Structure 1
Amino acid sequence: MNFARKFYTALQQAAMAHARWDLEVSTSIIRDKRKVWLLAILTALGLMVSLAFADDLNLPAMLGGSKAYTPAFYTTGIFVASIAIGVCAGLITGCIGAGGGFIITPALMSAGIKGILAVGTDLFHIFAKAIMGTAVHKKLGNVSVGLAVAFLVGSGAGVLGGGVLNRMIYEANPVASDAFISVIYVVLLGFLGMYAMLDFLRLRKAGNGGDAHGGGGSSSGGLPAKLQSAHIPPMISFDEDLIPGGKKISGLFVALCGVIVGFMAAIMGVGGGFLTFPMFVYVLGVSSFTTVGTDILQIIFTAGFAAITQYAIYGFIFYTLAMGMLLGSLLGIQIGALVTKLVPGLYIRGFYALAILAGFVNRLFAMPSKLNDMKILSINLDLCAFLTNVGNWLFFLTIGVFAVWVIGTFLSKIKELREG
């Protein structure tokens, strides 16, 4: 139980670090007129493409079928839905201070997009945002070059493994691919959701409003000490600015952590930040200061490498869908960040827990239908459809209520924000 609590705290810190990066990148894009115009042009092109193919009745079937190599076109409805999903993810990131990317893949799958396409598109969306918002990020000065190189070598290998596995499962059985991705999200979101709700209830019972963004520390003993004492070449020095003489650790351990992060990022369609932070701080014993800078760097390269080499060249990315999510998230994250100035942290943490649990229920309730299609279980089709619909409604209703509440708070108190 104690280990699970520490692991949840580490994941929470990772989500916070990723959210801070996401907010800075989004703000950088919004404040640059050239980037705003570029985004507007790309969005207009996406809308034109979706309108041009809106009457082609074969395209939705292709999107939901078993063909791997299909055109990246879709209906106007899906384009609008992608903007809405981006807004909701942005609101969660900006308002809660924790990465909202965990809802994107489940949301896209619930909207009818194949799991592998949702993963590839989400990775490209992350990469596109990083490229547009980060030229030479000032925080990259915190990066230990040795740690970064070893980690990226490992993450590259992990991305290759995760991408190949995802495509192999999809080519063998598209339904199995959706089921595989859903299982990963069920396990992760179930764990995070349970502990997030327990945290909320504990703070509520104690009468403590709490910080919406949580907290945590780092680790310098235990496993990190053992790994740092193992002298396996090449040895990498880090944290020289914080500790006289710095610390040293084998590049092999750093690369192995990169393999795990890259593998999970390629399978789940995330930047990998949710794992980088706990691994660096709690496994390798790297300071939070150095970890944040390295995390920013790895998100750009891991997401970009995975998106291009494992999904884009195989036709598993909808570029216009990614642009819709990017547009929505840029808007949502700005509103969410402003609302944190007006709302007690306790309520925000409660919504965070509910949002994670909604994603968990959504993927869990979709599993009977997947298992039935795979002939693993024999379940009544009407029951499968009912469970899937219940999961979808609960998910979108929870996220929708949160979005309406945040936007409503923003609009009703906009005068107060201006005065502040």
Structure 2
Amino acid sequence: MQIYLPIAEISVNAFLLLGLGGLVGVLSGMFGVGGGFLITPLLFFIGIPPAVAVATGANQIVASSVSALLAHLKRKTVDLRMGTVLLIGGLVGAAGGVSIFNYLKSLGQVDLLVNLCYVVFLGIIGGLMFIESLNALYKTRSGKRQPRKKHTWIQKLPFKMRFRVTGLYISVIPPLLVGAFVGLLAAIMGVGGGFIMVPAMIYLLGMPTKVVVGTSLFQILFVTAFTTLLHATTNYTVDIVLAVLLLIGGVVGAQFGTSLGTKLKAEQLRILLALLVLAVCGKLALDLLLQPSELYSIGFTS
């Protein structure tokens, strides 16, 4: 069933969009990521203009994050205090990111920027996560005890705060910086930023894996909602029809993803996420390197 998207100005199969939303919802529930790193490139692949894909993709993440977050709140695996600190940084980063996005859009460089950001960040993060996860899985199977975490420069920073749910007593500066960076990516790439925030929370902040997913979703929810609002009011690139179809699929998929996530070990979840990140990165890099079927197109401006 074909449906016309008024802002994107193309017709797309409605069931295809529902399926994409459902897939991203499953990922949100399983891994604690908004799924934007997957939904935005997939929208590119089916012909949605990048500016519309980024803004509407961020909107879809809101719904899938709400659904998954509610499930985690019931399990009491959300550190609201840590999530609030991350959120403050995220809102500042998102505001700056939208300003950069608008400037590059005026120069006509948004498409290239978004694709390059995806290839670089997904390649680095996916590779590091895959290597670390394999090492952690090997140590677990071989029976080797995990070494005690050593004190790092993060423990020496000022403005410390106690986070009782995660059992941490650290400076608020690293969470604020992580949140700001994720907010910047949310605005420019249309992602929730979970693919960066989840490993940062585990390896940089030292948070327990069982609390990371829910806390990540808390921050992602509000940052992507703020980003969507800014894009809608400054760029007018949020397609409501596209958003609703993705939302419906995302809400349903997130509930299944949350259930699946509880049945897998933390190391297995991280390996699966790393492989998924690398697969998307490879596809985008290939599209940048291969010669397009149409070398140029003719457009008309009023």
* Range of TM-score over shorter length: 0.7 to 0.9
Partner of 1:404: none
Partner of 2:86: 151
Question: Which runs of no fewer than 5 residues in structure 2 stay unpaired?
Answer: 296-302
Residues 89, 180 of structure 2: 8 Å contact kept: yes
Question: 1:189 is aligned with what amino acid?
Answer: L
Q: For 1:253 and 1:352, how far apart are their aligned partners in 2?
A: 24
Change (3 A) 1:261 1:363: same
Partner of 1:189: 122
Partner of 1:238: 162
- The C-alpha deviation readout for 1:130-165, integer Å capped at 9, x for no partner, is 4567579346684253x4443322211100111111
Partner-residue secondary structure (3-state), 2:292: helix
Partner of 2:300: none
Q: For 1:312 and 1:110, how far apart are their aligned partners in 2?
A: 26
User: Taking every aligned residue pair, what percent have the same amino acid on both sides?
Assistant: 25
Root-mean-square deviation (Å): 4.5
Task: Quote the offset at 1:182 in angstroms.
Answer: 0.6
Task: Quote the offset at 1:262 in angstroms.
Answer: 1.0
Instruction: Tell me how many residue pairs correspond in the alignment.
Output: 289
Matches within 5 A, 1:241-252: 247-249=169-171, 251-252=172-173
Match of 1:178 among 111, 116, 131: 111
2:275 is aligned with 1:385: no
Task: Quote the offset at 1:184 in angstroms.
Answer: 1.2
Residues 56, 243 of structure 2: 8 Å contact kept: yes
- The C-alpha deviation readout for 1:77-128, integer Å capped at 9, x for no partner, is 254432232244345567x757454221111111111222211111111113
Matches within 5 A, 1:209-248: 220-223=149-152, 226-231=153-158, 235-240=159-164, 247-248=169-170
Q: For 1:364 and 1:141, how far apart are their aligned partners in 2?
A: 36
Q: For 1:265 and 1:123, how far apart are their aligned partners in 2?
A: 7
Q: For 2:14 and 2:293, how far apart are their aligned partners in 1?
A: 25
Partner of 2:102: 167
Residues 82, 322 of structure 1: 8 Å contact kept: no
- The C-alpha deviation readout for 1:216-252, integer Å capped at 9, x for no partner, is x8984243xx222233xxx242244675xx6242x33
Q: For 2:22 and 2:275, how far apart are their aligned partners in 1?
A: 17
Q: For 2:15 and 2:101, how far apart are their aligned partners in 1?
A: 27
2:5 is aligned with 1:81: no
Change (3 A) 1:193 1:186: same
Matches within 5 A, 1:5-404: 51=3, 54=4, 71-72=6-7, 74-90=9-25, 99=33, 100-131=35-66, 137-138=73-74, 142-143=78-79, 145=81, 147-173=82-108, 176-192=109-125, 194=127, 220-223=149-152, 226-231=153-158, 235-240=159-164, 247-249=169-171, 251-288=172-209, 291-332=212-253, 355-368=276-289, 383-385=291-293
TM-score normalized by structure 2?
0.73
> Which deviates more, 293-302 or 76-85?
76-85
- The C-alpha deviation readout for 1:369-397, integer Å capped at 9, x for no partner, is 7xxxxxxxxxxxxx43289xxxxxxxxxx
Residues 163, 306 of structure 1: 8 Å contact kept: yes
Q: Which has the higher contact order (CA 8 A, sep 6+)?
A: 2
Which structure: greater helix fraction? 1
TM-score normalized by structure 1?
0.55
Change (3 A) 1:298 1:186: same
Partner-residue secondary structure (3-state), 1:221: coil
Partner-residue secondary structure (3-state), 1:385: coil
